[in-house]
Amino acid sequence: MSSTIYELPELKDASDSNIATAFDALLHAFSIEVEGLESLEAIERFRIRWFGDKAGLVNRGASGFIRYAQNKQLAGASFKRLKEDTEQLFAERSDIVHRILKVESVVNASFAADRAQKNFLDLTLPGTRRSIGVEHPLTRTMREMTAVFAALGYSVGVGPEVETDFYNFEALNFPPNHPARDTQDTLVVAGQEDKPLRERLLMRTHTSPVQIRTMVANAPPLRIVIPGKVHRNDESDATHSPIFHQVEGLCVDTDITFSDLKGTLDHAMKALFGSSVRTRFFPSYFPFTEPSADVQISCPFCGGKGCRKCKHSGWIELLGCGLVDPAVFAALGGPRMANGLKPAYDTKKISGFAFGMGVERIAMMKYGVGDIGQFYSGDLRFLSQFM
């Protein structure tokens, strides 16, 4: 919980922008305080402080903002969204606290029973069975994503997490001066300065090197999906981690078009989130695909009507994709390979598409997790929710 206690501001300027800023600040303060709730007593005090009929900050703040607002209709709509968002946040946190307290209650009762029976041992009773574990939510999500593409005929590929610069960058059309090569983005292995750039070792920043390794070892046609762990030099916060997971895919054959890519991803999103989900594509840029696109899906939580999880837009950006850049195919046939693959990956005859998405992002959406760090905390109180 924030150390600063939120107090309603005095609105000296009641313009539309200031009113909107006041509502946003109130919701931000609410979301910070609600995350700190850990007991039933704290939940009740919080409820009175924010939702009380007269003194509650939500109602009192809204009435003040609307009273001074120049555009009362706009302020009223903002208050409606505020009330929906705060009630949903409060309900979600209350449910989590009740679940945690229930687990702790069961554990404490078990300890108390053990202490009461510490002087009694019945050798005729069967031994205590260890509870059977379940898949980690990230493992479960990655398996479900992989299964969707396996059902379409894709094989599953794996590769090393410690890669060379060639497979991680050069073969994927990242030039030597590309910012992604900078140590601010990439975790490099020490003591590599004496090696040629393409042979230097680093922690892979995406699972795309497995695409290159697969194409080096196999002639087309190829259909492969690649789940795995990747590493980047990111600061840990609610949505970023230096370690995370990706699922990427590659399809190479003759006469592969952007329509094939759109149809594949539309089917995959429907398989993952339900048949009512829609997809849309926006132009983007990736060094290894041309043309490239970002893919959005209609919000599966509100059906595209607009809610807090989709920021009231009705759409959620989920992954990137595109047709494989011919420069990537050309890199496979140069003298550095010398294995006869150049004719097989002739850009006049073959084409392909690639896509990639983050596992944590989809798992956070699916299970309503607000902080990516919880996946790696090892806290049984959190993990027990997925049993």
The beta-strand segments (E) located in 212-288 are: 222-231, 243-253, 279-286
pLDDT at 205: 92
For 76, 155, 209, 268, the CA distances from 158, given in Å and listed in that order, are 53, 10, 10, 20
pLDDT of residue 213: 92
Cis peptide before 196 (omega within 30 of 0): no
Backbone angles phi, psi at 293, to 5 degrees: -150, 150
pLDDT at 129: 76
pLDDT at 181: 79
Element (H, E) at 289: strand 289-298
Q: What does the alpha-carbon distance between residue 199 and residue 197 come to, in Å, rounded to a whole number?
A: 5
CB atoms within 10 A of CB 142: 22
- 295 contacts: CB under 8 Å, gap ≥ 6: 265, 269, 279, 280, 281, 317, 318, 319, 320, 321, 355
Q: Domain-by-domain residue ranges, the chain?
A: 16-99, 137-160+203-386
Residues of the chain with pLDDT under 70: 1-4, 12, 110-122, 184, 333-343
Dihedral sign (CA 332, 338, 340, 346):
positive
* C-alpha triplet 64, 90, 379: angle, nearest 5°: 145
Q: What is the pLDDT of residue 341?
A: 43
* pLDDT on residue 55: 73
Q: How far is CA 351 from the centre of its chain?
A: 29
pLDDT of residue 116: 63
The residue to which tokens 């409820």 are assigned: 47
What is the reported pLDDT for 333? Answer: 60
- Provide the CATH topology of domain 137-160+203-386: BirA Bifunctional Protein; domain 2 (3.30.930)
Give residue-wise pLDDT tens across range 75-115: 788 888 888 888 888 888 888 888 888 887 777 776 666 66
DSSP 180: G
Closest CA to 244 of 209, 206, 212, 288: 206
- Structure token digits, residue 51: 């939702």
With vertex at residue 135, the alpha carbon angle to CA 133 and CA 140, rounded to the nearest 5 degrees, is: 165
Residue 331 DSSP label: H
